[in-house]
A and B are shown apart, each in its own frame.
Chain A
Amino acid sequence: MSRKTLYELQAENVRKTYLFIVTFSLILFAIGYFFVWYFNWGLTGIVLLAIFIVLYNWIAYEQSDKIALASVGAIPAHPEEYYVLHNIVEEVALAAGIPKPNVYIMEESQPNAFATGKDPKHASVCVTTGLLQMMNREELQGVIAHEISHIRNRDILLMTVVAVVAGLIILLRDVMLRSMWWGMGESRRRDKNDNGAIILLIIGLIFSIIAPLIVLIIRSAISRQREYLADATGAYIVRDPYGLASALEKIGSYTRPMRVTSDATAHLFISNPFGRAEKLFATHPPIEERIKRLKSLTM
């Protein structure tokens, strides 16, 4: 593996985010254009479509963190009740040289955590109540350091934008599948030509097959290497790899999946929210390997 400096890595992540947004906009425009053509909406349709895409991208870029937090049901951590957590986040942010991120809590017994936001000035970390119960101070510090290095490496913008966009892809697929059912039942009554209905059917079918694939490919593109990197930088920030290693051991021994989870947000978390099932397109490297690498960091 070639060595990259932190700044190269940050620039690369920002570049990837823009590339992703552009690619996705093109795909969205192609799909939308098909609808405009099929329903004969004309110029108005195209203008509306363009407005929608611009608006959606703006939302994905500016508001993705709030959407991601809301979609997992995270609430702000009360500073009095969770003062230890607030203290730890403040310390690690100080060590990393970034402003203190917002702190969120998720009612969930699986120990897990994630970070989100478009840049270090607008970032949040979120931990589950299960994590807080299970970890001692050093372990919690390790986990927070992992999340804060995602913030510092600018991984989170790309990861969060992907989460929001993946949510839309999945939604679109469902809408298409549903409209296909309606289309088949009502095509005769609506007096539309059957050719159109068949085209819609075919596109819908293709989309329902490729949509999850797109999500999978994107998620794998957010490489597993990134998790190793965040582990290593996290350990470096707090000058202690053992806290995170021991936290990962505890996380790894918890096998029940998360209550609220979806394909769209899975890759945000520090460990796979679906539990330990090994998958072809796994979003996370195996925990044993991560622990091994952490412990082999030369001191």
Chain B
Amino acid sequence: MIWIILGIVAVIVLWFIMTYNSFINLKNRVENAWAQIDVQLKRRYDLIPNLVNTVKGYAAHEKEIFENLGELRAKAMGAQSVKEVGDTNNQITQALKTIFAVAENYPELKANENFLKLQEELTNTENKIAFARQFYNDIVMQYNAAQQRIPASIVANMMRLTPKEYYPVDEGERGPINVQF
């Protein structure tokens, strides 16, 4: 009899440890995924002044676009919550699109080696932000769902875990693709 009780206790303790550890893993993965986004966002903040300086020389009277971008950059760099960071950066995405659209009207700018390189670097960063965001949101979903599931939710409550915020998706962006194999 005593062995049966001991056995049950051992199973419960083991289950508790495993659940605890899986939460720790998930939490670290969320943080790691966020760090990936963060790296790309920092890269983008670094590239923006270079872009502004390059474009300014060719398209001086598009001043308000640069000012807008500069303000957005400052706002984004000071943002705290995931939602704030996401929203301000989504606005930067739009502003960058405007700049590249404007650049189409300046043939000299379009032929500028430095500008082309910057454009490529920013496109690269944009794509990485988008992909890192997909990743982050997937993992946040796993993390949040794991916290809500019974009986793991008991452990989650004891650990005082709270659901993580999703990185907001840009308005008017394409939805997920439904793949049929």
Closest B residue to A229 by beta carbon equals B181
B144: interface (CB < 8 Å) = no
B124: interface (CB < 8 Å) = yes
- In the complex the two chains form, is B127's CB within 8 Å of A91's CB? yes
CA distance A67 to B132 in the complex (A): 34
- In the complex the two chains form, is A97's CB within 8 Å of B135's CB? yes
- In the complex the two chains form, is A297's CB within 8 Å of B179's CB? yes
B interface footprint on A67-97 (CB within 8 Å = 1, 0 otherwise): 0000000000000000110011011101101
Residues in chain B near residue A236, CB distance under 8 A: 177, 179
B131 interface neighbour in A87, A91, A137, Cβ under 8 Å: A91
B178 interface neighbour in A3, A141, A240, A297, Cβ under 8 Å: A297
A235: interface (CB < 8 Å) = yes
Residues in chain B near residue A97, CB distance under 8 A: 135
Residues in chain B near residue A239, CB distance under 8 A: 130, 134, 174, 176-177
Closest A residue to B116 by beta carbon equals A84
Closest B residue to A235 by beta carbon equals B177
Q: How many A-B residue pairs have CB under 8 A?
A: 57
Residues in chain A near residue B176, CB distance under 8 A: 239
A241: interface (CB < 8 Å) = yes
**Shortest distance in angstroms between A287's beta carbon and chain B's nearest beta carbon?**
20
Residues in chain A near residue B178, CB distance under 8 A: 297-299
**Shortest distance in angstroms between A34's beta carbon and chain B's nearest beta carbon?**
43
A64: interface (CB < 8 Å) = no
Interface centre among B36, B121, B176, B177 (most CB of A within 10 A): B177
B interface footprint on A224-265 (CB within 8 Å = 1, 0 otherwise): 000001001101101111000000000000000000000000
- In the complex the two chains form, is A299's CB within 8 Å of B127's CB? no
Residues in chain A near residue B135, CB distance under 8 A: 94-95, 97
A189: interface (CB < 8 Å) = no
- In the complex the two chains form, is B131's CB within 8 Å of A232's CB? no
A1: interface (CB < 8 Å) = yes
B180: interface (CB < 8 Å) = yes
**Shortest distance in angstroms between A135's beta carbon and chain B's nearest beta carbon?**
14
**Shortest distance in angstroms between A228's beta carbon and chain B's nearest beta carbon?**
8
Q: List A residues 160-213 near B (Cβ within 8 Å).
A: none
Known: A94-B128, A94-B132. A1 touches B181 (CB 8 A): yes
CA distance A297 to B36 in the complex (A): 29
B interface footprint on A34-75 (CB within 8 Å = 1, 0 otherwise): 000000000000000000000000000000000000000000
CA distance A95 to B134 in the complex (A): 8
B88: interface (CB < 8 Å) = no
Residues in chain B near residue A88, CB distance under 8 A: 124
**Shortest distance in angstroms between A245's beta carbon and chain B's nearest beta carbon?**
12
On A, residues with C-beta under 8 Å from B are 1, 3-4, 83-84, 87-88, 90-92, 94-95, 97, 137, 141, 229, 232-233, 235-236, 238-241, 297-299
Q: 4 shortest A-B CB distances, which residue pairs?
A: A95-B131, A87-B124, A298-B178, A91-B127
**14 more A-B contacts (CB under 8 A) besides A235-B179, A297-B178?**
A1-B181, A84-B120, A87-B123, A95-B127, A232-B179, A232-B180, A235-B177, A236-B177, A239-B174, A240-B174, A241-B177, A297-B180, A298-B178, A299-B178
On B, residues with C-beta under 8 Å from A are 36, 120-121, 123-124, 127-128, 130-132, 134-135, 174-181
